[in-house]
Amino acid sequence: MIEDAVSRRALLRGGLVMGAAGLVAACSSGGSSSGSADGASVTNMTAGWSTASGGTGPLWIGVEQGIFKKYGLNVSPVESGSTASATAVVAGKSQVYYGEATSAFQAVTQGQPVEIVATFRDYNFFYFLGAPGITSPKQLAGKSIAISSVGDSTDLSTRNALQQLGVNVSDVTLLATGTSSAREAALLSGKVAATLLTNPSASQAAAKGCKIFVDQTKQLFIGSAVVIDA
């Protein structure tokens, strides 16, 4: 029923500033409302997330410290893969996704109605490193480069790094390896010729003989975002 649906005004009302981290939460029309013990209206919503990291910390702070409830939102975080999260929003499985903005980019190219209503990281945080023994970008040709998954921020950032280095992406194999620790292990073992890492992992890898080819930490990049159904 229409009175049970969350209006777009209510969706955007879900934009909450969460402490110093400044998370803006939003919910779409897939949520539902109910009454609280004190008679106030409460909006129930599911918030998808993809990575257990400091970047998703504000979501958990908002839930555990009751910040969402203070503003009438009953938020249930649900883990979902970054590349599938925007699709989950469109399908109504979650009302909001907090994670990589690249999920929204992919969805838009596929004609899915999603919208970014907030971003939380203006700069990239990756370093592009070569494995021990890789001293020149030219040595990357014909070799594998570890990314987390196809279409996520590691994929996009790797393509940007290769372009800066003058390496054609068609000359390498982008290997979906998973987490940062898995990519680091693949790099140090020589399974892949290069990958992206954040600090302190990047510095630790450099100390073990890996060469930093590109420092992307001063490059503008839309990272974490709040994605809703448009």
Query: Where are the extended beta strands (E) located within 107-163?
Result: 114-119, 127-130, 144-147
Strand order in the sheet with 127-130: 173-176, 144-147, 194-197, 127-130, 211-215
Produce one character per residue of 67-106: b if its CB has 16 or more CB atoms within 10 Å, e if not: bbeeeebbbebeebebbbbbbbbbeebbbbbbbbbbbbbb
pLDDT in tens, the chain (230 residues): 223 333 444 433 433 333 222 333 343 344 555 555 455 677 888 888 766 666 677 788 888 999 888 888 898 888 765 555 666 676 667 778 877 777 777 777 778 778 888 877 788 889 999 999 999 999 999 999 999 888 888 999 999 999 999 999 999 999 999 888 999 999 999 999 999 999 999 999 999 999 999 999 999 988 777 777 76
Separation between Cα atoms, residue 12 and residue 132, nearest integer Å: 49
pLDDT recorded at residue 212: 97
pLDDT recorded at residue 160: 96
3 state SS of 2: helix
Separation between Cα atoms, residue 166 and residue 213, nearest integer Å: 12
pLDDT recorded at residue 40: 60
Cα-Cα-Cα-Cα dihedral of 169, 211, 149, 163, to 10°?
-30
Q: What are phi and psi of 38, to 5 degrees?
A: -90, 10
Structure-token match 């699709």, residue found: 87
pLDDT recorded at residue 134: 97
Structure-token match 């909450």, residue found: 16
